[in-house]
């Protein structure tokens, strides 16, 4: 009985345990719901799964179902980010417990009841509890923002290696605070449209509206919401990675103001999409600030990885190849930075290309091709961000040695192969015409599917390793049971 209690405490009070539960649930949902589309659906697994689980699927509700699914997963991802932040940022223990407990109850309610409402019949109690869950996640965000309040004197810093004001205000903490507040505000833009659901607002996926020349305020609100939430989540993740790598020195001092100002401008730009034509210009400016901040993080991180790698080899100076070997020595840390670079090829680059060539190419393509490209780049950013979070979590869980290398490189190589293939698939109209595209499509899809399968197998192996440890009497989990989250992360 004591073992059960200890394990329960580990799962629902430690950063590692809470994150493991959320990652496990996301993996489970992805595994089951992934059969409803793509290659498994083509092979007939979809019908089998619908029958097996007794799902209630109606054609007219597809978009609504997908929105419930997105939010079910997104709430869990937000919760994981919250766990990471409460684990690495100083705050009172009671604040940490309140935030983590609230966000946990919230995301679980949103996930269970959201999926129940979307896929297993429209019991409106489920919908109410889904909304309640999201409201709790929002409230957890308010508590987190309050806990992060950077102007409390006890959180002022004196170490001049880190970005701070003259009075000692911690600019990294301020960046976390700004991102948290911006996410809270941005969530309203989805919630406001959702409030009209059943009262004039009709469910839609953003990509279905791209060619409507006159979009409604609520449509623009949703489009702004989905983009800014992902952008801010990604910004938050890069801040977590910065803390993981002990981001400091001149690069950090330049980056933190950029993160703060960029987040404010980007958020303002996304909100203003509803009312002004020049909102996109604001978004580009905000994005540029944040991307510059992330670039400085990558520069610092690469330098640090090289130094660490050389130290391991007992070297102070080395040639190019040894320095490169040192850079890639730890695939988890290298991967978290590399994915930020790779993102520019598959997301930012594609976005800029589309914006620049909009009237010459993209709007000339049939809508279906444009839709594939748009939906693709959003999903790639979301999944790339998830891989970065996984790298951090694998390190947090103490993945070491050969397993660390295999897991890290499998995720880097095959996720990038998958995302690269999907990006080329989205851009295919640039180099292959519709009549002769099928061999290209088949090749790219085989590459993407195969690569994703390998990434998912790597994730599955990692989760099995976690489970085996969890059921061991004296597993790694044991030492976290009596530690606070911050002690645990440091440990």
Q: Which residues bind other proteins (CB under 8 A)?
A: 37, 41-42, 58-60, 62-63, 202, 211, 213-214, 277, 358-359, 363-368, 434-439, 441-447, 450
What is the C-alpha separation between 293 and 252, in angstroms, rounded? 8
* Smallest distance from other proteins to CB 438, Å: 4
Q: Indicate the SS3 state at residue 201.
A: strand
Q: How many residues does the chain have?
A: 491
For residue 66, the minimal CB distance to other proteins (Å) is 10
| Distance (Å, whole) CA 150 – CA 176 | 9
Q: Which is nearer to other proteins, 132 or 272 (CB)?
A: 272
DSSP 329: S
Contact 331, 405 (CB under 8 A): yes
Where does residue 211 rank: exposed (0-12), middle (13-18), buried (19+ CB within 10 A)? exposed
Q: How far apart are CA 206 and CA 216, in angstroms?
A: 12
Chain-centroid distance, C-alpha 414: 18
Residue written as token pair 């095959």: 414
> How far is the C-alpha of 271 from the C-alpha of 424, rounded, in Å?
31
- The residue (of 213 and 314) whose beta carbon lies closer to other proteins is 213
Instruction: Give the nearest distance from C-beta 360 to other proteins in angstroms.
Output: 11
Q: 94 vs 435, which CB is nearer to other proteins?
A: 435
Least CB distance to other proteins at residue 212 (A): 8
Taking the CA atoms of residue 283, residue 286, residue 292 and residue 293 in that order, the dihedral angle to the nearest 10 degrees is -130
CB of 442 to other proteins, least distance (A): 4
Q: Closer to other proteins by CB, 159 or 360: give it.
A: 360
In angstroms, give the least distance from the CB of 215 to other proteins: 12
Least distance (Å) from other proteins to the CB of residue 359?
Answer: 6
Tokens coding 260: 């703060």
Closest to other proteins by CB, 193 vs 233, is: 193
Q: Which is nearer to other proteins, 324 or 441 (CB)?
A: 441
CA distance 491 to 485: 10
Least distance between other proteins and beta carbon 53 (Å): 18
Question: Which DSSP string do the residues of 339-372 spell out, in sequence order?
Answer: HHHHHIIIIIHHHHHHHHTTTTTGGGS-HHHHHH
* Minimum separation from the CB atom of position 479 to other proteins (A): 36
Shortest spacing between CB 314 and other proteins, in angstroms: 30
Nearest residue (CB) to other proteins, 326 versus 447:
447
Burial-class residue 95 by CB neighbours within 10 Å (0-12, 13-18, 19+): middle
In the complex with other proteins, the residue whose CB is nearer, 173 or 371, is: 371
CA 379/CA 401 separation, integer angstroms: 31
Alpha helices in 245-330 (DSSP H): 250-272, 279-312, 320-327
Name which of 2 and 59 has its Cβ closer to other proteins. Answer: 59
* Contacts of the segment 155-158: beta carbons below 8 A, 24+ positions apart: 155/90
- For other proteins, give the closer residue by CB, 64 or 236: 64
């Amino acid at each position: 009985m004591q073992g059960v209690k200890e394990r329960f405490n580990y799962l629902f009070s430690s950063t590692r345990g809470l994150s493991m539960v959320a990652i496990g649930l996301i993996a489970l949902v992805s595994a089951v719901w992934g059969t409803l589309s793509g290659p498994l659906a083509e092979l007939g697994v979809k019908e089998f799964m619908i029958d097996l689980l007794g799902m209630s699927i109606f054609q007219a509700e597809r978009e609504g179902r997908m929105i419930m699914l997105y939010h079910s997963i997104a709430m869990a991802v937000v919760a994981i980010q919250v766990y990471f932040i409460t684990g690495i940022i100083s705050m009172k223990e009671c604040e940490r417990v309140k935030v983590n407990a609230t966000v946990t109850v919230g995301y679980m309610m949103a996930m269970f009841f959201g999926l129940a409402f979307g896929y297993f019949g429209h019991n409106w109690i489920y919908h109410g509890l889904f909304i309640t869950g999201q409201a709790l996640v929002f409230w957890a965000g308010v508590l987190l923002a309050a806990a992060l309040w950077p102007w409390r004197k006890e959180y002022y810093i004196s170490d001049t290696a880190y970005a701070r004001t003259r009075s000692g205000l911690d600019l990294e903490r301020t960046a976390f605070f700004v991102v948290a507040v911006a996410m809270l505000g941005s969530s309203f833009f989805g919630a406001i449209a959702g409030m009209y659901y059943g009262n004039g607002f009709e469910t839609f996926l953003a990509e279905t509206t791209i060619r409507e020349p006159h979009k409604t305020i609520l449509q623009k609100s949703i489009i702004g919401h989905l983009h800014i939430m992902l952008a801010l989540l990604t910004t938050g993740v890069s801040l977590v990675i910065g803390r993981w790598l002990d981001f400091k020195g001149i690069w950090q001092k330049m980056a933190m103001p950029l993160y703060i100002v960029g987040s404010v401008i980007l958020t303002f730009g996304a909100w203003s999409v509803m009312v002004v034509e020049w909102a996109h210009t604001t978004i580009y400016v905000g994005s540029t600030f944040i991307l510059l901040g992330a670039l400085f993080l990558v520069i610092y991180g690469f330098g640090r990885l090289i130094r660490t790698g050389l130290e391991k080899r007992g070297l102070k100076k080395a040639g190019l190849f040894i320095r490169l070997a040192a850079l890639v020595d730890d695939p988890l840390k290298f991967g978290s930075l590399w994915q930020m670079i790779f993102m520019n090829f598959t997301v930012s680059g594609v976005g800029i290309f589309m914006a620049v060539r909009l009237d010459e190419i993209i709007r000339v393509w049939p809508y279906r091709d444009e839709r594939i490209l748009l939906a693709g780049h959003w999903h790639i950013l979301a999944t790339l961000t998830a891989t970065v979070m996984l790298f951090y979590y694998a390190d947090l869980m103490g993945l070491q040695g050969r397993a660390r290398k295999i897991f890290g490189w499998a995720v880097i190589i095959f996720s990038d192969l998958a995302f690269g293939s999907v990006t080329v698939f989205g851009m295919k109209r640039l180099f292959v015409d519709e009549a002769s595209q099928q061999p290209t499509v088949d090749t790219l899809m085989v590459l993407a599917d195969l690569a994703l399968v390998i990434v998912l197998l790597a994730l599955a192996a990692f989760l099995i390793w976690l489970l085996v440890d969890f059921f061991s009497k004296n597993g790694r989990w044991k030492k976290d049971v009596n530690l606070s989250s911050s002690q645990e992360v440091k440990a």
